[in-house]
Structure 1
Amino acid sequence: MKYPIALVTDSTCDIPQSWREEFEISVVPLSIHFGNDTYRDGVDLSPESFYERLEREEVHPTTSQPAPQDFINTFQALQDGGAKEIIVFTISSAMSGTIESARLAAQDFSIPIHIVDSKNNSMGLGWQVIAAARAREQGANAWEMLEVATKVRQKMAYYISLNTLKYLEKGGRIGNATKFLASLLQIKPLIYVDPSTGIVHPSIPARSRSAAIDGLFKEFFKHLNITSPMHITVLHNAARDEAEALAERVRETYHPAELFISIVSPVLGAHTGPKAIALCGYSESD
């Protein structure tokens, strides 16, 4: 290991593999269950295969958090590799019990372990981890890394346009988005994650796909300081062409400091459904 402070997160982070390797980020997978078949998120089932199967399977997949032992195994491997301290960022505690598994694993461990509720998922989680990793590269200690990640978390904007609400409803993770009445399930819902609570809320829905993506674009940028450098991810659930078009619009209109496209992990996709598309990011302004 290059660093005495190790970074750990879970598989909902959607951090590109190249960054996971560059910044030495360990990822603990959640699980997806299709009937009697169980897959480790990002290990046994590719996102592309998952979304193809999601559309044709009659059985709705379920998801589950890692066991404490999964975190213990990761912590032990990192300690054996030279880590003197570990920081763990997990998916929002309002969305998953993953953080409780991490906390149980950290109890009585022989080196300090800091457990952070990201109050987000996907790159709403991932950007926090990357900010901490970049601070570590500049020589930051654990508390300074945590402070940097907290500032990023507080600035995070994350808006998701769903092609349908039925997967969020079936998965039981709909939260306050139930304000979308069942009779309106044919609309294109827009939801967002509140970075102060980690809870999903409804925003302004649309009646067509093109209007939904346009609404996503406009609403997202209402919540960023566009005069400061911006770090943005276009996220998609097997909607690559639309994600590329949206990324080009973002690039041409706002010229962010950092912009990339990522496919959403199967665990999250089980709840948001095929063809969802999202914008997630933050600006560097105070």
Structure 2
Amino acid sequence: MKIAVITDSTAYLDDAYLTKYNIRTVALNVIFRSETYRELSDISTETFYSKLKKESQLPTTSQPAMGDYVALLEELKAEGYTDVIAVHLSSGISGTYQSALTANSMVEGIKVHPFDSEISCTVQGFYALKACQLIQNGMTVIDNILEHLENMKAISNAYFIVDDLSNLKKGGRLSGAQALVGTMLQVKPILHFVDTQIVPYDKVRTKKRAMKEIEQQIEKEVGGSKHLSIVVIHGNDEESGKLWKSQIESKFPQANVILSYFGPVIGTHLGEGALGIGFTTEPLDLSI
């Protein structure tokens, strides 16, 4: 048995992690009018946000092309892999998890074991990193690895701040939007994932207050955990991301804190200027 770990492009893992653990990715797509781009392959994050500012019409997104998924599996099979753990973004906001199930029946000689992270961005990537580290440490029973990842969900979470809910509402990715209707232009909504869906967590008057509330909520959830990994995520606003990262490092000195970003697909729905924090108290090596 030889086990590969793959994820999709919305994990936005640093290339150094992909190289270190030989994690393969399959790309989701962002569509501007009639032009389809595989994110991070056909279009960079910088180009995406620049293009987004010039467009009057919101782009759309789609799950990976089945041909791309099958080609990746064929490639892994040729390299001698017999099994694939496929860590994907929440099935409640994308059909990528379903694509993994479908692809499994299309390539003989290699078996796909899809894992629904029920979240997205680099917290999703945390699951892929953990799977790799478990394999490196000698865990070779697929069901045990998947069970470990499933248990990790109870100690992992993420919160996002958006300037308004327009993009999420237009894209149909937000559940419970009625909780903020009528005030979404006056507040900074805090969102999180519940049962695979993005739902409102709270509505706060300013971004600064929203950030403070998220910090307080994380503190409640992690307690005095000695194993704390945190990712600060920004939507084309690296300066704000770095500043918040510095604040988080001061507030949680025991944590390993990294910086990431909302790429084209997630950026389509959250919009430019969004900020987020994801975390897990699962022991995780974030060194690169």
Do they fold alike, i.e. is TM over 0.5? yes
**Partner secondary structure for residue 244 of structure 1:** helix
RMSD, aligned α-carbons: 1.7
The answer to whether the 8 Å contact 2:82/2:109 transfers is no
Q: Deviations over 1:231-285 (max 9, x none)?
A: 1100110111111111111111112442110111210110010100000011138
**Partner secondary structure for residue 248 of structure 1:** helix
The answer to whether the 8 Å contact 1:128/1:150 transfers is no
Q: Work out the CA distance in 1 between the residues paired with 2:6 and 2:102.
A: 15
Q: Work out the CA distance in 2 between the residues paired with 1:53 and 1:186.
A: 27
2:129 counterpart residue number:
130
2:65 counterpart residue number:
67
1:20 counterpart residue number:
18
Answering whether residue 201 of structure 2 is matched by residue 211 of structure 1, we say no
Q: Deviations over 1:178-222 (max 9, x none)?
A: 31113432311000112xx21112112211222222222222332
Q: Work out the CA distance in 1 between the residues paired with 2:86 and 2:69.
A: 10
Amino acid at match of 2:182: A
Answering whether residue 69 of structure 2 is matched by residue 76 of structure 1, we say no
Consecutive unaligned residues of structure 1, counting only runs of 5 or more, are: none
Equivalent residues in 2 for 1:129-278 (5 A)? 129-141=128-140, 142-194=142-194, 197-278=195-276
Q: Deviations over 1:122-150 (max 9, x none)?
A: 12211111111111111111233222222
Q: Which residue of 80, 89, 92 maps to 1:91? A: 89
**Partner secondary structure for residue 44 of structure 1:** coil
2:49 counterpart residue number:
51
The answer to whether the 8 Å contact 1:157/1:224 transfers is no
Q: Work out the CA distance in 2 between the residues paired with 1:89 and 1:14.
A: 13
Q: Deviations over 1:2-21 (max 9, x none)?
A: x9200111111111111011
Q: Work out the CA distance in 1 between the residues paired with 2:182 and 2:54.
A: 23
TM-score by length of 1: 0.93
The answer to whether the 8 Å contact 1:204/1:215 transfers is no
1:112 counterpart residue number:
111
Q: Work out the CA distance in 2 between the residues paired with 1:43 and 1:224.
A: 36
The answer to whether the 8 Å contact 2:100/2:112 transfers is no
Consecutive unaligned residues of structure 2, counting only runs of 5 or more, are: 284-288
Query: Taking structure 1 as reference, are residues 256 and 273 closer, same or farther at Cα in structure 2, changes over 3 Å only?
Result: farther
**Partner secondary structure for residue 74 of structure 2:** helix
Q: Work out the CA distance in 2 between the residues paired with 1:106 and 1:284.
A: 29
Q: More displaced, 168-177 or 24-33? A: 168-177
The answer to whether the 8 Å contact 1:226/1:254 transfers is no
Query: Taking structure 1 as reference, are residues 226 and 241 closer, same or farther at Cα in structure 2, changes over 3 Å only?
Result: farther
Q: More displaced, 83-92 or 249-258? A: 249-258
State the shift of 1:111 in Å: 2.2
How many pairs does the alignment contain? Answer: 281
Amino acid at match of 1:131: K
**Partner secondary structure for residue 86 of structure 1:** strand
Query: Taking structure 1 as reference, are residues 273 and 265 closer, same or farther at Cα in structure 2, changes over 3 Å only?
Result: same
Q: Work out the CA distance in 2 between the residues paired with 1:10 and 1:284.
A: 21
The answer to whether the 8 Å contact 2:73/2:110 transfers is no
Q: Work out the CA distance in 2 between the residues paired with 1:52 and 1:218.
A: 34
Query: Taking structure 1 as reference, are residues 273 and 225 closer, same or farther at Cα in structure 2, changes over 3 Å only?
Result: same
Q: Work out the CA distance in 2 between the residues paired with 1:115 and 1:64.
A: 18
2:286 counterpart residue number:
none
